[in-house]
Structure 1
């Protein structure tokens, strides 16, 4: 029944609409909620903003993914328009009365003291608490350690070169597969360590060497 891209897209749209309906019910019932946002670009290099909400449901924290929304402009005003439009489409025009928290990475567009999204939200939401994403802060810390500790930087470079060797050479990959078959062990392809932001990618790159 759903054996082609069009049918699969229709099915995903139905599931997404249902999940958004559940999110709306929780948002209408809760007294307070927090926003979590992160920007990225899709395959067409169009700027998108992933928007989550976090609220309490029967005393337990619960996260809902609201949308991966298109952003017309990447500055703070553009992100605010994106949020306003999204909540209006959800049927929550008074969303600022519920928002008490805002979490994002440390980019100035998000947490700038004067013109960041959090600063501008605070003009309408006096009680707003902004939080620099802990995963992003941890990544920045690891990056600083890597620059200061020569051995860590060397390990990172070795991981990167190992990945390049087998990712861009089909011959090297065939040879690696043949070695694994001779040793009767499972093949674990080297993973990239550079070009990503989160610590989990570093752990993934170290995995084949454990």
Structure 2
């Protein structure tokens, strides 16, 4: 069974198990020979391997579901994509709270499921998420945050997945993946500048020129052998020469390359326009809506580097949010915790060195500051991106290839790894 687990973790085909067992017996592990009961029973058939994988999966899932049950809050990261067999898939990662060996509460992320979608619309995705949680016995009322890629099917104002989940769980907060927002900001900043659009077209043409022709690729490799590594850049003068005609010139391997002040001014203008476009787009995409405003206030609330007087309006925002999820009259409790935390900061106590320390302090003092503990748990469990979903799809693409494109969902589930935990 350990060999079966090894093959699954390393994305190796199960058909390698017989040869792997033979190799290990050759190395001296003679006990594996006991698996061969007779000529027809060797526990190396695909059916036996499937049963081994199911058993291992059940153990891993039971351990994960126990951790989820023990966590007071959890959040989800979801994304959908089309796989190599042209089937739409929904992947779900879960973020929970766990205590380490010294009783410090830390957020941990785990792969939860990957499922086929008949249609990638809001109703199908919403139903699949709810059904997956129900089948695994996960209490949806403990769901506090969800992170998506920001697609309209996910965050649509009328019938998006997030709004449907909020109808079931009014205290749910949603975030648009920070990595997706940054990428979209960069793209939109470049798409409005004709020069950068032209540069992108030239780069694509150069790539196609070499990637689609073995002859051209061989020529490129020959050039690389002549000028290995960064040798080309090292041979270019740092400061070109300025001639009598005002052109800046430098020689490179028999070629004369000329520049001018006008071209440089245009380049600076393009860079300024690109930077301004990115900043403008980021301001639009990162503007605080209600959910983002609550998350911002939560992070400021537990930041010991920010003075207490600067947190007044953020305390009000958090108190209003907690009241909306059933914590009535929590403003006074939050104020008392702020005074307690500020006194520790003023005395130089290192127990509140960062936001995570402050949140753990509130959780440990839950009996005294219940509202602050509730806010701390909701902050710690909040995801800011769906990068784990992207890693999960990358793992799926390593497992489900053009030669293994008929794998069903149960065989596609990537086994938990250290990366999933982080």
TM bin (shorter chain) = 0.7 to 0.9
Deviation at 1:109? 1.3
Corresponding position: 1:43 with 2:89: no
Q: Work out the CA distance in 2 between the residues paired with 1:184 and 1:167.
A: 20
Question: What SS does structure 2 have at the residue aligned with 1:54?
Answer: strand
TM-score normalised according to structure 1 size: 0.76
Q: Work out the CA distance in 1 between the residues paired with 2:210 and 2:58.
A: 41
Corresponding position: 1:89 with 2:135: yes
Question: What SS does structure 2 have at the residue aligned with 1:56?
Answer: strand
Indicate if the aligned counterparts of 2:96 and 2:108 stay in contact, CA closer than 8 A. Answer: yes
Indicate if the aligned counterparts of 2:133 and 2:140 stay in contact, CA closer than 8 A. Answer: no
TM-score normalised according to structure 2 size: 0.40
Q: 2:121 matched to which residue of 1?
A: 75
Indicate if the aligned counterparts of 2:145 and 2:173 stay in contact, CA closer than 8 A. Answer: yes
Corresponding position: 1:5 with 2:13: yes
Corresponding position: 1:109 with 2:150: no
Kindly report which structure 2 residues correspond to 1:172-183, keeping only aligned pairs within 5 A, or say none.
172-183=216-227
Report the structure number with the largest CA radius of gyration: 2
Q: Work out the CA distance in 1 between the residues paired with 2:133 and 2:142.
A: 12
Q: 1:121 matched to which residue of 2?
A: 165
Change (3 A) 1:21 1:175: farther
Of 125, 150, 171, the match for 2:215:
171
Deviation at 1:4? 6.8
- The count of residues paired between Structure 1 and Structure 2 equals 185
Deviation at 1:121? 0.7
Higher helix share: 2
Q: Runs of 5+ in structure 2 lacking a partner?
A: 17-45, 100-104, 231-386, 388-422
Of 154, 157, 161, the match for 2:201:
157
Q: Work out the CA distance in 2 between the residues paired with 1:72 and 1:124.
A: 23
Q: Work out the CA distance in 1 between the residues paired with 2:183 and 2:61.
A: 31
Change (3 A) 1:184 1:136: closer
Q: Work out the CA distance in 2 between the residues paired with 1:82 and 1:70.
A: 9
Of 14, 27, 38, the match for 2:68:
27
Q: Work out the CA distance in 1 between the residues paired with 2:159 and 2:84.
A: 29
Deviation at 1:18? 5.3
Indicate if the aligned counterparts of 2:74 and 2:142 stay in contact, CA closer than 8 A. Answer: yes
Deviation at 1:25? 2.7
Which one scores higher on RCO, CA 8 angstroms, separation ≥ 6?
2
Deviation at 1:99? 0.3
RMSD: 2.8
> Once structures 1 and 2 are overlaid, which stretch shifts more, 6-15 or 115-124?
6-15
Change (3 A) 1:78 1:151: same
Question: What SS does structure 1 have at the residue aligned with 2:110?
Answer: strand
Any idea what the Cα deviations from partners look like across 1:100-135, whole Å, max 9, x if unmatched?
A: 111112222111112011111111101000111111
Q: Work out the CA distance in 2 between the residues paired with 1:150 and 1:17.
A: 55
Kindly report which structure 2 residues correspond to 1:139-158, keeping only aligned pairs within 5 A, or say none.
139-158=183-202
Deviation at 1:37? 0.8
Change (3 A) 1:164 1:22: farther
Q: Work out the CA distance in 1 between the residues paired with 2:133 and 2:62.
A: 13
